Amino acid sequence: MNGSSLVKSESREAVLRAAQQLNYVPHAAARALITGRSRTIAVVLPDMHGEFFSELIRELDQCAHAHGQNLLVTSLHGDLAEVKQVLGLIHGQVDGVILMVPFNDARARLAPLLMTVPTVLLNAPGPINGCPAVTVDNAGGARQVVRHFLSMGYRNMVHIAGPSGNFDASERARGFRAAVKEAGLPVNRDIPGDYSERAGYLAGQLIASRSKRPRAIFAANDNMAVGCLEALTEAGVRVPEDIAVAGFDDIPIVRFTQPPLTSVHPPIAQQGVEAFEWLVKAVNRKPGEPPPSGPRERPLPTTLIVRGSTDRRAPARPSAQTDR
Amino acid sequence: MNGSSLVKSESREAVLRAAQQLNYVPHAAARALITGRSRTIAVVLPDMHGEFFSELIRELDQCAHAHGQNLLVTSLHGDLAEVKQVLGLIHGQVDGVILMVPFNDARARLAPLLMTVPTVLLNAPGPINGCPAVTVDNAGGARQVVRHFLSMGYRNMVHIAGPSGNFDASERARGFRAAVKEAGLPVNRDIPGDYSERAGYLAGQLIASRSKRPRAIFAANDNMAVGCLEALTEAGVRVPEDIAVAGFDDIPIVRFTQPPLTSVHPPIAQQGVEAFEWLVKAVNRKPGEPPPSGPRERPLPTTLIVRGSTDRRAPARPSAQTDR
DNA sequence: GTCCTAGGTGTAAACGTTTACAAGTCAGTT
DNA sequence: AACTGACTTGTAAACGTTTACACCTAGGAC
């Protein structure tokens, strides 16, 4: 017995010593079978691209270590229907699930599937079946960008939208629109996009070709902002003197673009912690107890990082001397 | 019985239908206990930073899906001794292990621990206890850089080394030295580094301050190359006109530095596939059979990506129109 | 009609733990 | 010396599957 119970301390020591010698390690499956605990958390992501994924995993790995848990990572290669299959595959092998579902229709499509295992949703449009959702304040981030634009005197702004159906993207668009309207400015029609660098590039070309250009551009993610920046530069448009550009996500490369890109930094690490902590609580609660209170209802705040693409005076990229 | 055996097809159908209705899912732990197979592979990495980690995970996730396996991801937070603990935690929960151990002394320190579970080593200095090692041709990559430098007419080269004790780093240094020597050129002493951007920055400052500057710099990784580039630029050294700079890893940001950085592209995806394929074979073999032949003994070849930091004439960064 | 065979079905053991419980030991108290 | 109590130790059931095996049924051959 590796736990603690009612054995004399010396006999326990003897057992442990023997175990050491025989190279004995308890069999996880047998243990999981009888205890009903696998000490493992599943992380299910819609895809494994971008910095979001790696930073999240990194953070969750930290949490897992701290709680003595293992991390089972998997991605949804196909449809959301695959969630069912994944949850099945995972049953009995996992105590809880962290599920990222950044889709507007997540509720309708997931509701029938969630109930077997304690689950935390990431970037979902809201709690589903009592599973809490840990979200980022996308709208707030967009608002920060608009406020920054206003403070710089940029009044004619346009948004390059993310893929329709994506919850984060529509929140960013919504926040942008609301903030512009609140400022009493006319709202330009969004330029459609799909988060790809190429979409941003095309959007940039489109904007550069217009006779009436906006003063500032807010792209729904950094990928598109980078593509847009490139198109503008190629077209001879000066950034930020002629047009300012801001993105969302604060991915590593934005420090290196010419000029460096202003971007909204999402609280990914914090998200990971909140999701994990709640999950651990939910998994460990006794059958009688009520589910733990949600991991703060409100979305987690973002941070605006101002760089040269919106403000010429922004401090140069922090040199390697001090960075990190 | 979900497998196939000797039941009439209609009774099987009936069973499956009932299972569907009752929302039955087999219990993974119980199944693992009796079959001795968990359909899960562990991935153990020394740390979760950098692009290497995310690309590898992404690739392994693909492989895992293709083979109907799950992926248990964990990192070594402390010493290599933690490997033992990790392998213990994992016993019975995992059929095989992909273990990254880029340390020169891996053999000595790991040999006593490896034998319980089929294991593939990643970037290890060689096979250990019959566990094959899937490695990158670091020395070959360094050689490619030197050959490129020579073709550009750069004859006075210096290497910014990676952390001592790191296998990849020492292989890169070795390959560099060998190639320079083969070319009949004198070998400059390496500038010490630790893979950090700051170390590269300091190295760059050091080089810029020397009276006799080298014509070309090969940094052991891109991080350092980026830092070095920054220091050189700050010091008023023109790249590549005065000094050329090349890195290793081909991380995403090197496309965006000023000028874009020449770098050695490692075959990470291929590594993942080879490691996984071998592991699956090893796990599925019958007790009698011999272990499958190693996943090609020789290290996987790298690709040199020439950019503006070593060759002014290099094509500009492929535009977003065509990239990806 | 009996026997054999083939194909299908039900039963029970086993996987390696945990945990509850019964049984045992020993010292201290009356 | 016997009883009580506090500890310790051994035993057995249970977790949810798989798999081997014995059993049963039906159909064909002699």
* pLDDT score of A2: 54
Least confident of A14-18, A175-179, A309-313, B115-119: A14-18
User: Would you say residue A138 has pLDDT above 80?
Assistant: yes
| B294 Cβ contact partners less than 8 Å away, ≥ 6 residues apart | B127, B132, B278
DSSP characters over A45-107: ES---HHHHHHHHHHHHHHHHHTT-EEEEEE--S-TTHHHHHHHHHBTTBSEEEEE--BTTHH
Instruction: Quick: pLDDT tens for B219-249.
Output: 999 999 999 999 999 999 999 999 999 999 9
May I ask the CATH architecture of the domain A38-134+268-297?
3-Layer(aba) Sandwich (3.40)
Q: Nearest CA to CA, how far is B83 from chain A (Å)?
A: 13
* pLDDT score of A267: 97
Strands (E), B79-127: 96-100, 119-122
User: Would you say residue A83 has pLDDT above 90?
Assistant: no
User: Would you say residue A324 has pLDDT above 50?
Assistant: no
Cα angle value A266/B247/B191 (rounded, 5°) = 110
Residue A271 φ then ψ, to 5°: -55, -50
| pLDDT-above-70 percentage for chain B | 90
pLDDT class of B324 with cuts at 50, 70, 90: very low
Same CATH topology for B37-134+268-297 and B138-266: the answer is yes
* pLDDT score of A317: 60
Cα A168 from chain centroid? 9
| pLDDT-above-90 percentage for chain A | 70
Q: Do A73 and B73 touch (CB under 8 A)?
A: yes
Q: Do B30 and A257 touch (CB under 8 A)?
A: no
A176 near A146, Cβ under 8 Å? yes
Q: Which pair of tokens denotes residue B197? A: 């951007």
Q: Which pair of tokens denotes residue A222? A: 């950094």
* Amino acid occupying residue B4: S
Spatial distance between the Cα atoms of B265 and A240, rounded to a whole number of angstroms: 33
User: Would you say residue A294 has pLDDT above 90?
Assistant: no
pLDDT class of A290 with cuts at 50, 70, 90: low
Q: Which nucleotide C1' is nearest B34 CA?
A: C15
User: Would you say residue B321 has pLDDT above 60?
Assistant: no
Nearest chain A residue to B85, by CA: A25
Residue B167 burial (CB < 10 Å; 0-12/13-18/19+)?
buried
Spatial distance between the Cα atoms of A123 and A194, rounded to a whole number of angstroms: 17
* pLDDT score of A47: 85
Q: Do B320 and A258 touch (CB under 8 A)?
A: no
What Å value separates CA B59 and C1' C16? Answer: 34
CA-nearest of A258, A256, A305 to B227 is A256
| pLDDT-above-70 percentage for chain A | 90
Parallel, antiparallel, or unpaired for β B157-160 and B216-219? parallel
Least confident of A84-93, A163-172, A302-311, B231-240: A84-93
Question: Within 7 A of a protein CB, which nucleotides of strand D?
Answer: 7-9, 14-19
CA-nearest of B207, B206, B151 to B179 is B151
Strands (E), A141-200: 157-160
Spatial distance between the Cα atoms of A291 and B171, rounded to a whole number of angstroms: 54
User: Would you say residue A1 has pLDDT above 60?
Assistant: no
Greater model confidence, A295 or A189: A189
Does nucleic acid strand C have an atom less than 7 angstroms from the CB of B7?
Answer: yes
Spatial distance between the Cα atoms of B257 and B248, rounded to a whole number of angstroms: 14
* pLDDT score of B41: 95
Least confident of A264-268, B9-13, B46-50: B9-13
User: Would you say residue A3 has pLDDT above 60?
Assistant: no
Q: Which of A57, A71, A91 sits opposite B27 (nearest CB)?
A: A91
pLDDT class of B215 with cuts at 50, 70, 90: very high
Instruction: Quick: pLDDT tens for A139-152.
Output: 999 999 999 999 99
Instruction: Quick: pLDDT tens for B163-180.
Output: 999 999 999 999 999 999
Q: Nearest CA to CA, how far is A83 from chain B (Å)?
A: 13
Residue B22 burial (CB < 10 Å; 0-12/13-18/19+)?
exposed
User: Would you say residue A320 has pLDDT above 90?
Assistant: no
Instruction: Quick: pLDDT tens for A249-289.
Output: 999 999 999 999 999 999 999 999 999 999 999 988 876 66
| Phi-psi label, residue B303: left if phi above 0, alpha if psi -120 to 50, beta otherwise | beta
Least confident of A111-120, B14-23, B115-124, B199-208: B14-23
Query: Span B133-162, mean pLDDT?
Result: 97
Query: Span B129-137, mean pLDDT?
Result: 93
What integer best gives the mean pLDDT of chain B? Answer: 89
Spatial distance between the Cα atoms of A171 and A162, rounded to a whole number of angstroms: 10
What integer best gives the mean pLDDT of chain A? Answer: 89
Residue given tokens 């000066």 in the structure block: A238
User: Would you say residue B323 has pLDDT above 70?
Assistant: no
Spatial distance between the Cα atoms of A317 and A250, rounded to a whole number of angstroms: 13
B222 near B251, Cβ under 8 Å? yes
Does nucleic acid strand C have an atom less than 7 angstroms from the CB of B320?
Answer: no
* pLDDT score of A323: 43
Q: Nearest CA to CA, how far is A135 from chain B (Å)?
A: 23
What Å value separates CA B96 and C1' C11? Answer: 34
Query: Span A91-107, mean pLDDT?
Result: 92
* pLDDT score of B322: 44
* pLDDT score of B2: 54
A232 near A260, Cβ under 8 Å? no
Residue A230 φ then ψ, to 5°: -65, -45
DSSP characters over A233-274: HHTT--TTTT-EEEEES--GGGGTSSSPPEEEE--HHHHHHH
Instruction: Quick: pLDDT tens for A153-164.
Output: 999 999 999 999
Instruction: Quick: pLDDT tens for B57-92.
Output: 999 999 999 999 999 999 998 777 788 878 877 788
User: Would you say residue A77 has pLDDT above 90?
Assistant: no
Question: Within 7 A of a protein CB, which nucleotides of strand C?
Answer: 7-9, 14-19
CATH of the structural domain A138-266, one choice from 3.40.50.970, 3.30.230.10, 3.60.140.10, 3.40.50.2300: 3.40.50.2300
* pLDDT score of B318: 57
Could you state, in order of their start, the residue ranges of all structural domains in chain A? 38-134+268-297, 138-266
CA-nearest of B280, B240, B269 to B257 is B240
pLDDT class of A322 with cuts at 50, 70, 90: very low
Domain B37-134+268-297 superfamily per CATH = Response regulator (3.40.50.2300)
